[in-house]
Amino acid sequence: MTSFDAIGTVAIMEHGTKQSAKAFLARHPFFTAVYRKTGMHAGKYRVQKLVFLAGKRAMVVEHKESGLRMRVNVAKTYFSPRLSSERLRIAQLVKPGEKVLVLFGGVAPYALVLAKHTKAGHITSVELNPVAHKQAEENLVLNRLSHKITVIKADAKRWCLRTKERFDRVIMPLPLTAATFVPAALKVCKPKATIHFYTFAHDTAFNRAADPLVPACVKAKKQCVVQRVVKVGQSSPHVYRVSVDVVIRSRRFA
């Protein structure tokens, strides 16, 4: 059987057949359904088409991570259990009292982990997908964290450009197109704010992973100070999803 992602009691395979999926369920009775990925995440909601292979056709499951319960629609929302360690890594960096913004927040996994495991002042999570937004609202109630998190259904770029709020930390977990949102993200940064910018980088070019940030920073008269580039997961041979942790400063402080 091929590698798979476990979201609650659903197993999502990279490859597989109905026969192999039935054998998988027989060996792993914890799981109730097996699906196979078809193609890449696509569309404005970054969802991935799934093919049902075996078990019960349940799409909405409850996933447990870092002491939290999260309801996830595996077919209509983007959710990666492989980022659980990365979410805890970010939590270790958050300082008491920080205002944190999560763009492309999904069903609110980042916001929930930060609310539970940090002393952040408040966390705002912005998501355009109506299904993911509704589940984010449910997950706040499910984990009794509504007082620490605000979830907003909106286009991330438009929301950043019109809000008057400013943040100490901005998380941008959208590696394919996050660069197009950087100018908007810079507008909501407090002085010396930190941006966690996610992208894909070849293992020989980690020192250039921050390059997509540079044009927007120059235009906004900001300086991008790279603190670290962290491997988050492998996308393909020699290509990794990485987090570029960047402090944004006014050029006069350079």
Phi, psi of 114 (to 5 degrees): -70, -40
Contact 17, 53 (CB under 8 A): yes
pLDDT interval class at 1 (50, 70, 90) = very low
Instruction: For Cα atoms 37, 42, 48, give the angle at the middle one, nearest 5 degrees.
Output: 25
How do residues 22-70 score in pLDDT, each as one tens digit? 999 999 999 999 999 886 666 667 788 899 999 999 899 999 999 999 9
How do residues 187-237 score in pLDDT, each as one tens digit? 999 999 999 999 988 888 888 888 888 888 889 888 889 999 999 988 788
pLDDT interval class at 254 (50, 70, 90) = very low
pLDDT interval class at 2 (50, 70, 90) = low
How do residues 130-154 score in pLDDT, each as one tens digit? 999 999 999 999 999 999 999 999 9
Provide DSSP, the chain.
Answer: ---EEEETTEEEESS--HHHHHHHHHH-TT--EEEEEEEEEETTTTEEEEEEEEE----EEEEEETTEEEEEETTTS---GGGHHHHHHHHHHPPTT-EEEEES-TTSHHHHHHHHHS--SEEEEEE--HHHHHHHHHHHHHTT-TTTEEEEES-HHHHHHH----EEEEEE--TTTGGGGHHHHHHTEEEEEEEEEEEEEETT-GGGTTGGGHHHHHHTTEEEEEEEEEEEEEEETTEEEEEEEEEEEEGGG-
pLDDT at position 38:
86
pTM over 0.85: yes
Give the whole-angstrom CA distance, residue 249 versus residue 251. 6
pLDDT at position 204:
85
Q: What structural domains and CATH numbers belong to the chain? A: 4-58 (3.30.300.110), 82-253 (3.40.50.150)
Mean pLDDT (the chain, rounded):
92
Mean pLDDT of 116-124: 98
